[in-house]
Amino acid sequence: VFSNDGESSFETAFANQGLKPDVVFTARDADVIKTYVRMGMGVGVVASMAHEQEEEELVSIDARTLFPRCLTWIGFRRDAVLRDYMFEFLQLFAPHLTPEIIRSAHEAPDQTHVERLVKNLHIPFRSRTTTG
């Protein structure tokens, strides 16, 4: 239920159905959430990429239609020296970001300039897989 801008897509999804979830805790780490579920603290909602087939003690239900797609953001410090391995990671993570775009974003004076720089980029979505 974490959100930097005060609005949570999780809470909105429930509210759209006239429901209010009883959230005991939130965590950014799926392993933490899964640990608490294993301890019997209730139900956890995690991204599909955090689900592993080997977790036989957990039951997973595909909830992709319940929540909107979310973008993942990646960041680095403005004063960081970007090394080759960092560029390689960024391109593996986001192949649509060329080294030139990454350098321009790194040199941008503020976030508004970064957003303008990437505004018209096509952001590829990974296909969703079903688990079961």
In three-state form (DSSP H/G/I as H, E/B as E, the rest C), the secondary structure along the chain is CCCCCCCCHHHHHHHCCCCCCCCCCCCCCHHHHHHHHHCCCCCCCCCHHHCCCCCCCCCCCCCCCCCCCCCCCCCCCCCCCCCHHHHHHHHHHCCCCCHHHHHHHHHCCCHHHHHHHHCCCCCCCCCCCCCC
**Range(s) of the chain covered by CATH 3.40.190.10:** 71-124
What is the mean pLDDT, run by run of 10 residues, along the chain of 132 residues?
A: 63 88 85 92 85 82 80 83 93 89 93 90 64 44
User: Hey, which CATH number is domain 71-124, 3.30.70.580, 3.90.220.20, 3.40.190.10, 3.90.110.10?
Assistant: 3.40.190.10
Q: What's the predicted TM-score (pTM) here?
A: 0.56
What local confidence, expressed as pLDDT, does residue 131 receive? Answer: 45
